[in-house]
Homo-oligomer: A and B are copies of this chain.
Amino acid sequence: MAQPSAKYLGVKSGVADWLREGRWKFGQAIPSEPVLAHRFGVSVGTVRRAVDELVAENILVRQQGRGTFVASHTRDYLFNVFFRIVNKDGQKERSTPRLLSFRRVAADRTTAAALRIAHGAPVYRIRNLIMLRRTAVAFDDIRLPERLFPGLTEYALSQRETTVYGVLQQRYGVNVLWAEELVSAVIAGGSLRTLLDLTRPSAVLKVQRTAYTYRDVPIDFRYRFVSTAHHGYQIFLGRH
Contacts and interface: CB of A to CB of B under 8 A. Distances in A.
Given A82-B238, A86-B182, A182-B235, 4 more contacts: A177-B239, A183-B233, A184-B228, A185-B186
A205 to B, nearest CB: 5
A129 to B, nearest CB: 18
A94 interface: no
A93 interface: no
Interface of A: 56-58, 81-82, 84, 86, 90, 176-187, 202-205, 208, 226, 228, 231-240
B205 A238 contact: no
Contacts of A178: 236-240
The complex is assembled from copies of this chain, and their number is 2
18 contacts: A56-B56, A58-B239, A82-B237, A86-B182, A90-B180, A180-B234, A180-B237, A181-B236, A181-B237, A182-B233, A183-B205, A183-B233, A184-B228, A185-B185, A185-B186, A185-B226, A187-B203, A205-B205
A1 to B, nearest CB: 24
A204 B203 contact: yes
Contacts of A240: 178, 180
Contacts of A180: 90, 234-237, 240
Nearest to A234: B182
B185 A228 contact: yes
Contacts of A185: 185-186, 202-205, 226, 228
A92 to B, nearest CB: 12
Nearest to A52: B52
Contact of A238 (B58, B86, B232, B237): B58
A16 to B, nearest CB: 15
Nearest to A239: B178
B239 A182 contact: no
